[in-house]
Amino acid sequence: MQKVAIVTDSLACLTKELVEKYRIKIVPLNIHFNGKIYKDWVDITPKQAYELFLKAPESWGSSAPSPGDYLKVFREVGKKIKNILCITASSKLSTTHDVAKLSKEQAETELPQTSIAVLDSHLATAAEGLVALAAARAAEAGKSLAEVVKVAEEIRDRVTFVAFLDTIRYVYRSGRIPKIAALAGSLLNIRPLLTISSGVVRFTGAVRSREGGIERMLKMMRDRVGQKPVHVAVMHAYALDEAEKLKERVASAFNCAELWISEFSPLMGYATGTGTLGLAFYAED
């Protein structure tokens, strides 16, 4: 019998099929466009969000869930399962972790028989999703809350995220480089690669061609996992055809224990731009 419920946010980029299969509860972030608010992956799909972004980038924005959003999920889940693990995006990238902690305190006051643990994934996108999936599988196996937390922490420390941006043009929206530098880099056709380290997105290199970026990502993965069984998520921002080709290359080159495609969160895609491809992965022991 399952003793622990898993909650995470929509930045984890988990597909509908995976969410339903492992009964993971998702707290959506908010997308703002022309005065309207959409719940990420609920009121609007990533594809639709990117289409709005392309239509009017300067009218597009986002915000974290409210404490009430988390509290609603904790109440709903707490009626059925008395132990909850909430996995959030990196606290250095989003306020979701702080909001979830605030909601946990209120939920435990209202539901004294419910135990809630909030874990900072130190990650985002499908890298965070892989942590949530590992936790959900441990919960499905009947492990206790402490055991599920331990599994999540172990996987968190093994997951690697790397993304290749088709353009550097919009990175200034992240606040990491000035707008003029991003525009200059775009004119020079510089295409950066990003990773997440210590909870922060960092530049790890740059290439001049799309194929060069894909090769760099595959080499990084090969160097880290070799031929060990590997869990992999292929991510894309409005580039499904290319993501499917990348998935085929990963499947043929690696010993995949798990391999799936997800859309790169439009809340991060706002700064990376469409055409982004990425990999999140970890090797089995």
Residue 77 is predicted with a pLDDT of: 95
75 and 112 share one domain: yes
Q: What is the pTM of this model?
A: 0.93
Chain Cα centroid distance, residue 174: 16
Last residue of a domain, one of 106, 137, 156: 156
Q: How far is CA 155 from CA 29, 110, 130, 195, 222, in A?
A: 24, 31, 8, 17, 18
**AA identity, residue 94:** S
- What pLDDT, on the 0 to 100 scale, is given for residue 167? 60
**H/E segment holding residue 277:** strand 277-283
Please check whether residues 118 and 189 belong to one and the same domain.
no
Residue with tokens 């999540």: 152
3-state helix, strand, coil in the chain (%, to 5): 45, 25, 30
Q: How far is CA 96 from the centre of its chain?
A: 12
Tell me if 47 is assigned to some domain: no
If asked whether residues 209 and 95 sit together in one domain, one would say no
pLDDT at residue 181, as a whole number? 34
Domain boundary among the residues 108, 130, 156 is at 156
Q: What is the pLDDT of residue 53?
A: 85
Tell me if 281 sits within 8 A of 231, measured CB to CB. yes
Cβ-contact 220, 160 below 8 angstroms: yes
- Under 8 Å between Cβ of 275 and 230: no
Residue 264: DSSP 8-state: P
d(CA 281, CA 111): 36
Residue 132 shares a structural domain with residue 14:
yes
Query: What are the b/e assignments for 17-39, b being 16+ CB within 10 Å?
Result: ebbeebebebbbbbbebeeeebb
Q: Which residues pair with 120 in a beta bridge?
A: 88
- Residue 142 shares a structural domain with residue 178: no
Domain tally, the chain: 2
Separation of alpha carbons 18 and 217, rounded Å: 24
Whose tokens are 């702080």? That residue is 98
d(CA 64, CA 226): 37
Cα 43 versus chain centre, distance: 18
Q: Are residues 16 and 141 in the same domain?
A: yes
Instruction: Establish if 278 belongs to a structural domain.
Output: yes
Do 126 and 202 belong together in one domain?
A: no
Q: In terms of domains, do 147 and 200 share one?
A: no
- Please check whether residues 144 and 198 belong to one and the same domain: no
On whether both 166 and 108 belong to a single domain, the answer is: no
Pair 109, 172 in one domain = no
The answer to whether residue 39 sits within a structural domain is no
Asked if 168 and 250 sit in the same domain, the reply is: yes
Distance CA 148, CA 35 (A): 40
- Tokens 């890298």 belong to 127
In a domain, 111, yes or no: yes
* pLDDT value of residue 183: 38
Spans in the chain with pLDDT lower than 50: 172-188
Residue 217: domain span: 160-283
